Structure 1
Amino acid sequence: MDQTDLSALQLPSYGEQASLRAQIAEALRALLITGQMAPGELYSAPRLAAQFGVSATPVREAMLDLVSEGLVEVVRNKGFRVTAVGDEELDAMAELRTLVEPPVMGMVAEACEGAVAEAVEALRPLAAEIEAAAGREDLVSYIEADTEFHLRFLALHGNDHVVSTVRDLRSRSRLFGLSPLMESGVIMQHVAEHEEMVGLALERDRPRMEALVRRHIGHVRAAWAGPPARA
């Protein structure tokens, strides 16, 4: 069985805030983000459990959570395989994000007053954390802050289906490992756009917000055109 050396696996320190299953799932997502678990490779729950220092049951449960998210698939009698996503599917996901996110963000900007404006202003620390994480090349923290920023922004429109759809698209499109993009400085080139989104929303500038979000998503798809070892 193909298996990348994951001997240094550690669980995030959430204490009692999350179940062991949730902690393992979060740790596995981090391995996917950083490319330490690669598309096409097989992983067994018992072996991962031994490396985490836990029993196989919560690892298997966590892997099934990732199956439901489309990040891995079950291989009968062998374990789990990391899902590979090719250019055609990436293009389809980027197209869907472009159809959904710009108009929704534009509507948030158009309605940005009162409580909405306060909620937008509260996103500034996240925008700063995105830039700080990119600056120190902390990919996992960058992804966590970036995802929270965009989903909280979209949630201000009030449509939970939009949020869940975008969450799923973002999760599935992070299967290749973004480390090369972080190390090359590509990500750092676009982090300031998050602060710009906050500013445009507070200015209630719907046209410029929509244009910025389209451009932002375009950066993401263009960046993924280059990573090696894609399906």
Structure 2
Amino acid sequence: MEREPAPRGPHPADRAEERVPPPRRPGEDGIGDARGRGAARGGGTGAPRPGGPARPGPAHPADPAHGAARGQDHPGHARTPLRRTSVRGQVLEALRTALDSGELEPGRVYSAPALGERYGVSATPVREAMQRLAAEGAVETVPNRGFRVLARTADDAAALAEVLFLIELPVLTRLAATLPALPPELRPLARRTEELARTGDRTGYAEADRAFHTALLGLHGNPQLTRVADALHRRAGSPRAGTARSWAEEAAQHATLLDAIERADTATLATVLRGHLGVRG
């Protein structure tokens, strides 16, 4: 008489399948259950191993230890990683101001460590800011030495003025034809440039001049165009006029441009803008 074969245990592959937990539903992380079971066994956060201490489970996002590991200032609030970017941004603005004022002299080479010591920062944010200025055409990289401030020649200035004219004239002409009324903030911006021109604040005037043109071009609604024009204004430098008298005249042209837009006087608009930007011919 044949004997029945003894029952076999589950195949190792079957055991592996049995140990696979069921898939969690969306929104479930299983953390709460693990913490509850651990607490019931004595405060542990994970299932205990046989004959050994409880194995720590995943930390809850609200745990202080978890926050420290993830770089949080306090539980439940992620730290905003702006510290490095903020330093670089501040250094960039400081360097732009130094370029506008002439503190950083054209043709001279400046090293990142020396500028970092001047501004009380490491060389890294200075290097990053200088690379941005190099992309804008304000400086050039000198291998193993630093960055040279580029001197703008008369031909450079004329070329930049022509490009700006080709960008701004179509925009302002369109505004003159379609804009129902000028926003109220434009007139104060124009007056601000005149005030700074009278006081001889070259750096302040450069910032106010760019703010005026940025606000005016921004009415077109194309942020890419506005950013390109702002970068060109930075490269061209401001004021474009060479004497104090012509500088004051240049500042007064901002209000004249606004008057021409309000009257939809495109002929005057083109003439004034050409002189304002310093276009030849």
Calculate the TM-score normalised by the size of structure 1.
Answer: 0.76
Q: CA RMSD in A?
A: 2.5
**CA spacing shift, 1:154–1:28, aligned 2, 3 Å:** same
User: C-alpha deviations, 1:1-46, integer Å up to 9, x for none?
Assistant: xxxxxxxxxxxxxxx9x81211111111111111121222100111
Q: Partner letter of residue 218 of structure 2?
A: A
CA distance in 2, matches of 1:164, 1:80: 24
**1:92 aligns to 2:159 (yes or no):** yes
Please list every run of 5 or more consecutive structure 2 residues that lacks an aligned counterpart in the other structure. Answer: 1-82
CA distance in 1, matches of 2:220, 2:240: 32
1:99 Cα deviation after fit: 2.2
**CA spacing shift, 1:180–1:165, aligned 2, 3 Å:** closer
**1:80 aligns to 2:143 (yes or no):** no
1:56 Cα deviation after fit: 1.7
Which one has a larger percent helix, Structure 1 or Structure 2? 1
Task: Note if contact 1:35-1:179 (Cα within 8 Å) is conserved in structure 2.
Answer: no
**1:62 aligns to 2:123 (yes or no):** no
Q: Partner letter of residue 176 of structure 2?
A: A
Q: How does 1:57-206 map to 2 (within 5 A)?
A: 57-113=124-180, 117-119=181-183, 121-174=184-237, 181=242, 184-206=244-266
**1:35 aligns to 2:98 (yes or no):** no
Please list every run of 5 or more consecutive structure 1 residues that lacks an aligned counterpart in the other structure. Answer: 1-15, 223-231
Q: Which moved more, 1:124-133 or 1:59-68?
A: 59-68
Q: Partner letter of residue 200 of structure 1?
A: A
Name the larger-Rg structure: 2
User: C-alpha deviations, 1:58-115, integer Å up to 9, x for none?
Assistant: 22221122122111111111111112332332222122222222222111111121xx
Task: Note if contact 2:240-2:247 (Cα within 8 Å) is conserved in structure 1.
Answer: no
**CA spacing shift, 1:178–1:102, aligned 2, 3 Å:** closer
1:170 Cα deviation after fit: 1.3
SS in 2 for 1:59: helix
Q: Which moved more, 1:39-48 or 1:77-86?
A: 77-86
How many residues were matched structurally?
A: 198
1:133 Cα deviation after fit: 0.9
**1:208 aligns to 2:268 (yes or no):** yes
SS in 1 for 2:117: helix
CA distance in 1, matches of 2:266, 2:242: 30
**CA spacing shift, 1:38–1:63, aligned 2, 3 Å:** same
Dislocated runs of 4+, deviation >6 Å: none
SS in 2 for 1:81: strand
Higher relative contact order (CA 8 A, sep 6+): 1
Task: Note if contact 1:126-1:149 (Cα within 8 Å) is conserved in structure 2.
Answer: yes
CA distance in 2, matches of 1:212, 1:111: 20
**CA spacing shift, 1:37–1:189, aligned 2, 3 Å:** same
Q: Which residue of 1 aligns with 2:17?
A: none
